[in-house]
A and B are shown apart, each in its own frame.
Chain A
Amino acid sequence: MSLIKCTDVNLSYDGLRVAENLTFEINSGDYYSIIGRNGSGKSTLLKALLKLKQPDSGNIEYCDGFCQSDIGYLAQQTSVQKDFPASVSEVVISGCLKSNGFKPFFSKNDKRLAEEKMTLLGIDNIKDKCFRELSGGQQQRVLLARAMCAAKKMLFLDEPVTGLDPVVTTEFFNIINKMHDDGITIVIVSHDIHCAVKYSNRILHMDNEIAFDGTAREYVNSKVGRDFIGGHRHD
């Protein structure tokens, strides 16, 4: 069952065309990695998939009852300012807001969900701390917890492990894998090809157009895949 269908999508960034003729589908249950070098249009594509950006032409369609309030999103750089006063629990529970319905306050369920995610990510002990005073790794966990609260069906991650150390990175992917096992569709933008091959089941290689779209196994055996993986290993 496909949740998002892209047909002949063309994208530009600052007036420059960055991606052309993108046609692909994201299916329910996918663990979909979008990879490519810097400037290959992968982050722009993610923004378009999230409807934060209009494609120049082509069509991005949400199908089968999938809608924006089913989405969780962990951005590459959050636009949160340095001096914003907000506690960890306030940030996490803001992921529970749904656009539909006139519901001014959080329900018991929302609060339970937020608690649950904070415990899962090991940030329940700092939930009254101020967000701006946390370390980069802790902030990333808080924002992931918020994204998890929002993700009913699909979680989008934009370069989520940039700047995290290897131990934390492994932990991070374990949590994402767990979510995928629980039935959440994962879409991850990354230039870390090894993690992509290791964890995801489908890979979209962007090079201003689709250079490859298929399973991770097929990718490793493809020419594009071999070149990109080889180039990254420096061996």
Chain B
Amino acid sequence: MIETLHIMFSYTFIVRALIVGLLVSLCAALLGVSLVLKRYSMIGDGLSHVGFGAIAIATAFNWAPMEFTIPVVILAAFLLLRISENSNIKGDSAIAMISTGALAIGILAASMTTGMNTDINSYLFGSILAMSISDVVMSVVLSLVVLLLFILFYNKIFAVTFDETFAKATGIMANIYNMLIAFLTAITIVLGMRMMGALLISSLIIFPALSAMRVCKRFKTVVITSAIISVICFLIGLITSYFLSTPTGATVVVLNIVVFVLLTVIGKIK
């Protein structure tokens, strides 16, 4: 067992996936608590679809994938935020429209370039082979930025998540912090998307937060528990997927489901 693990981590692509995966899981779990509580889970899902569209276009035109995708998804995040705050338009259907629209454009762009079929598959469901060394460096830097901003603005994020009206009335610029949350989410999603898959990345945001909320009653413990759950699920998921030759993204999500069910039962018994 130890021997096999040793061999497993002697592969460069596994080590890269491990580094990026752990950092992305951590960021996603922290942001997820706020997103779930603000009823913004769908934004995460919408962004991953926009990310898929952008990355497919970038590949079709031979542009640098991350450098193109990150700004596009950040713009989409602000747009989705505006839509869900504006009660005149039905927020959820607008998000569904944008996300399926982006998906369609992505598929068109991908299919117009030849030999893209395997790539579409790996964009949608993730591929552990996707990370180049420059991607890893970029992921590490950006995840650290996300973590740092989250810690520095933790108290304000709590305030706008718990009661936005009160925050606004007492002079906290709630809109700025909402945009900060959307901005950090966009970066996290793009970073995690290629490994986890565009269709699966939002589960990293939603599951750990929901699992932690089954058993914890303080905001701080929810955030910390969510981070721990997410990191552990990723680690075990990565190892399991190596042993069973299963896709990493899907394995991690299934583990998250198991944890969610377990903690729901524990929460009920308590």
Contacts and interface: CB of A to CB of B under 8 A. Distances in A.
B218 A87 contact: yes
Interface string A98-115: 111000111000000000
A69 B170 CA distance: 5
A129 B159 CA distance: 18
A137 interface: no
Interface stretch (A19-27, A30-38, A72-80, A215-223): A72-80
B169 A94 contact: no
B151 A104 contact: yes
Contact of A75 (B159, B165, B217): B165
A94 B218 CA distance: 13
Contact of A94 (B37, B158, B221, B222): B158
A71 B163 contact: no
B171 A68 contact: yes
A73 B168 CA distance: 10
Given A85-B216, A86-B218, A94-B158, A75 B153 contact: no
A130 B172 contact: no
Contacts of A70: 171
A52 B165 CA distance: 8
B159 A97 contact: yes
B266 to A, nearest CB: 15
B224 to A, nearest CB: 12
A67 B162 contact: no
Interface in B217-236: 217-222
A150 B216 contact: no
B165 A87 contact: no
A68 B174 CA distance: 13
Contacts of B173: 99
A150 B162 contact: no
Nearest to B176: A99
B155 interface: yes
Contacts of B218: 85-87, 90, 128, 130
Interface string A43-79: 0000000111000000000000001111111010011
A146 B171 contact: no
A44 to B, nearest CB: 14
Contacts of B159: 94, 97
| Size category of the binding interface on chain B | 20 to 34
Contacts of B169: 50-52, 68, 71, 73, 75, 156
A97 B156 contact: yes
Contacts of A150: 166, 170
B89 interface: no
B127 to A, nearest CB: 35
A146 B156 CA distance: 14
A97 B219 contact: no
A221 to B, nearest CB: 34
Contacts, number: 93
B170 A99 contact: yes
A50 B166 CA distance: 10
Contact of B166 (A73, A84, A128): A73
A153 B39 CA distance: 34
B217 A87 contact: yes
A72 B213 contact: no
B166 A78 contact: yes
B119 interface: no
Nearest to B225: A85
Contacts of A165: none
Given A79-B163, A80-B163, A85-B222, A73 B217 contact: no
Contact of B154 (A50, A100, A104): A104
B171 A79 contact: no
Contacts of B171: 67-71, 98-100
A91 B172 contact: no
A145 B156 CA distance: 18
Interface string B135-179: 000000000000000011111101100111111111111000000
B170 A80 contact: no
Interface string A118-158: 00000000001110010000000000001100100000100
23 contacts: A52-B168, A68-B169, A68-B170, A68-B171, A69-B170, A69-B171, A73-B165, A73-B169, A78-B165, A81-B37, A86-B158, A87-B218, A90-B158, A90-B218, A90-B220, A94-B159, A97-B159, A99-B173, A104-B154, A105-B155, A106-B155, A150-B166, A156-B169
Interface of A: 50-52, 67-73, 75, 78-81, 83-87, 90-91, 94-95, 97-100, 104-106, 128-130, 133, 146-147, 150, 156
